[in-house]
Structures are given as C-alpha cells and as structure tokens.
Amino acid sequence: MTTLATPPLIELGAPVLGEPEKRALAEVVDSGWLAMGERVRSFEQAFARMHGVEDAVAVSSATAALQVVLATFGIGPGDEVLVPSLSFVATANVVVAAGATPVFVDIEAPERPHMSIEEARARITSSTRAILIMHYAGYTMDVPAWRRLADEYGLFLFEDAAHAAGATGAVGVYSDAAAFSFFANKNLTTGEGGMVLVRGDAPRARMRLMRAHGMTTGTLDRVHGRTTAYDVVECGTNCRMDELRGALGLVQLQRLPEWNECRRGLSTRYRELLAEMLPEVLVPFDRPDPTVAHLFPVLLPPGADRRSVVAAMTGSRVQTSVHYAPIHRFDFYRRRFGALSLPRTERFADGELTLPLHPRLTEADVSRVVATLAEALGRTTGRPSREVAS
C-alpha cells in the first residue's frame, strides 16, 4: 500500500536565524556584560543611519516604545489621541495606560486599509493632542500629508511603525516619533525589542531618561568609572534593551534590505497568481505602493466562510491568521468607551485573511498557498477549484 507523505508545514511567519546570530550571542556571553551597553548603542546608530535620521533610542518592545513616546511628549489625562482600530491592541492600550482617550478612526477603503485622513480630520476636537498612525502590513502611509494635518491643528504626529522596519524615505522622518517592533515575527527580530526614531535632541534625551528609571547615568558608565553617582530627574520606567538583543539586531540589520526585497518579490508573485486564479479575492494596496511587505493580507469574497477556509488550509498544513480584530469591538473598549461603528474597518476585518510571507518561503510555496486557498474556497462556496501553475 502506498502512503502519501505529509506535506511540509508552510508557516505564517518565520525568523531567519543562523550562525551569524549564534556567534553574536556567544560574543556577548563571553564578554561578561549583558545589560545595555555598547552593542545596543551601535544598534541604535546603525538603525538610525538606515532610516536617514540622526539617532535612535532602543527599548524592550514596540509597546514600550509607544509608552515612552507618549510620556516624553506629555500625553496624559484629558488628552485625546486619534488611533486606528485596525491594529494590534497595543496601539490603543498605550493611550489608555497614559490616562488619555483613544479616538478610533475608520480606514480609507478595503483596497487601502490605512487610517482615513478625512475621517481623522472630522474627529479632531479641542481635546485632541496627537495623531497616531499605523503602517498596516508594512505599506507606508503618506506621512507628509499627515504631518500637514497635524501642523494645521497644532498636534503631535506619532507613528506605530511596528510593521515597517527598513522603510526608508518617510517613516521616522516627518513625524515627532516613530516606534518599531523587533518581535519574533517581524522583518527584523531580536525576539523582543523595539526602537524609537524621534526628532530633536531634547526629546531624545528625555526618552533615554524615561526608559531607565529617570536616572542621569547608566550602569555601564558607573561600572567603567566614568561616574560614581547619579540623580533621578524623571519618574521613568525600565524598558531598556539588553546587549544580547542589541547584538542580534546588529546582525539582522545587515540583511534587512535583502529580506525586505525578498518579501516584495514574493508579494508580487502572490498578486500574479491570485489575479489569474482567484480574481474574486481582493489584494489591498496597489503594487507600486511603497512597502517592506511585512504581511500579505487578502480579503475573501462575499459569502466565504472564513472559519471553514482557515480550517481547510490548516488541514493542508498552511498557516494563516487574521490582522486584526478591530480594537473598538473588544469587550474592554466597548465597556470603557461605548459602542462605536466603523463600517469600513468592520467589513475589512470580517473578511481579511493573512497568508504566509517571510524570506524562507519559495515561489513554489506561494503557488501551494494559492492552490490551497483556491481549494478551500471551492469547498466553502461550492465553486470549482482551479489548478495553479507552480
């Protein structure tokens, strides 16, 4: 009897880690210094250079990055911050944790699921202090246009750039601050970790204080005898990056442009196959839109049962996900801020499916994903599936 081999799992996202990362970590261990030090500082400087800005501040996560951004610019009780609902919940959680009020803004359209600038303008009030935009899936927003809106009303402009590491030219250049993520599924990973690009020496200096208890000197300075004392000039927190993550970041940063180009190429192949075989599946954004291709989201056709599609693809060993459940629909936010209707966000979120995308994929993997999606849709909608060329 012939048994069919189980096909290999196609992961939704997978970090690229190897011998260079192992060597970098071993060097940190051998050095005997694990806390924030020279490697973290080198990572900050290299990350800033890549994005065309003066300097950067490394922290322990993108959530921490957003928290220190809000604290640095004095966002707090009585303030309103415009935020997208189509984002990871941290985008709004940090606003609530600061004592401010998140004001959710609808997306432009299913074809462009970025926060709508027209809707944002309509939600500005006398209590609005800041706008927090988010570069969904790694497709960069028109930051200069948002800068003009913020300046028109005297507001701060912040970027949730968790999906946008390596996006050069606009991200972190025009806003007051941009927060990046290095979580395990991001284009560049340190396991956990984050970075802030912030304009101006004074905000940057305050941010460095805020990430380390408000202390005027660091542990490395005291150990090396550069100083023996410190003062505490802010009520800060502890969200410093350690040397292990700094070392990983330095190695990963060298290959980030190559990996982002690979992601863009795989995204192009997805678009070609989907246009040919599943034209009823909507792929957001236009191909020329600038992107680092962090995610590959699609919108399933009306009538498709997403749960059944996900189950069928899982059974065929293809991972998928949903990005994201709208924040304003979560129980905490409904109880705290009341029911809210964001029809375009809700329609998009109800039909969105994220397909695998990472540099370890091959074009053959992409073909298999599309074939699996076609078969899953055929099962759930009753339409005949079509073969996909590999």
- Which CATH number do you get for residue 340? 3.90.1150.10
Q: Are residues 273 and 191 part of one domain?
A: no
Residues 330 and 208 in one domain: no
Domain co-membership, 172 together with 46? yes
Mean pLDDT of 113-127: 98
Q: Are residues 304 and 195 in the same domain?
A: no
State the pLDDT at residue 370. 98
Of the residues 230, 251, 272, which one is the last residue of a structural domain?
251
Q: Same domain for 26 and 155?
A: yes
Report DSSP state, residue 35: S
226 in the same domain as 163: yes
pLDDT greater than 70 at residue 221: no
Report pLDDT for 25: 96
Domain termination site, one of 210, 231, 251: 251
Find residue 81's DSSP bridge partners: 102, 130
Indicate whether 156 and 297 sit together in one domain: no
User: Could you check whether the bond before residue 324 is cis, i.e. omega within 30 degrees of 0?
Assistant: yes
- My answer on whether 69 and 215 are in the same domain is yes
Q: Are 280 and 351 in contact (CB under 8 A)?
A: no
Asked if the structure places residue 387 within a domain, the reply is no
Positive or negative: CA dihedral 105, 330, 129, 207: negative
Same domain, 217 and 103: yes
Averaged pLDDT, 97-125: 98
| Mean pLDDT estimate for the chain | 93
Residues 127 and 160 in one domain: yes
Could you list the residue range(s) of the whole structural domain that residue 279 is in? 256-381
Residue 386 within a domain: no
Of 189, 218, 251, which one is at a domain's C-terminal end? 251
- Contacts with 298 (C-beta within 8 Å, 6 or more apart), sequence order: 274, 281, 282, 283, 284, 352, 353, 354, 355
Residues carrying an active site annotation: 186
Residue at 309: amino acid letter: V
Whether 390 is covered by a domain: the verdict is no
For residues 15, 21, 25, 30, the Cα torsion angle rounded to the nearest 10 degrees is 170
Instruction: List, in sequence order, every residue forming a beta bridge with 138; answer none if it has no partner.
Output: none
Residue 180 lies in a domain: yes
* 235: confidence class by pLDDT, cuts 50, 70, 90: confident
Cα separation of 68 and 56, whole Å?
A: 13
Least confidently predicted of 51-55, 65-69, 177-181, 385-389: 385-389
DSSP calls for 51-86 = TTSS-EEEES-HHHHHHHHHHHTT--TT-EEEEESS
In one-letter notation, the amino acid at residue 335 is R
pLDDT of residue 152: 98
Exposure class string for 92-113: b at 16+ Cβ within 10 A, else e: bbbbbebebbbbbbbbeeeebb
Residue 2 lies in a domain: no
* Structural domains of the chain, count: 2
Are residues 158 and 68 both part of a single domain? Answer: yes
Same domain, 28 and 131: yes
* CATH number of residue 209's parent domain: 3.40.640.10
Q: Give a yes or no: residue 59 inside a domain.
A: yes
Contact 316, 292 (CB under 8 A): no
- pLDDT bin (cut points 50, 70, 90) of residue 390 is very low
* Backbone conformation region of residue 191, classed left if phi is above 0, alpha if psi is from -120 to 50, else beta: left
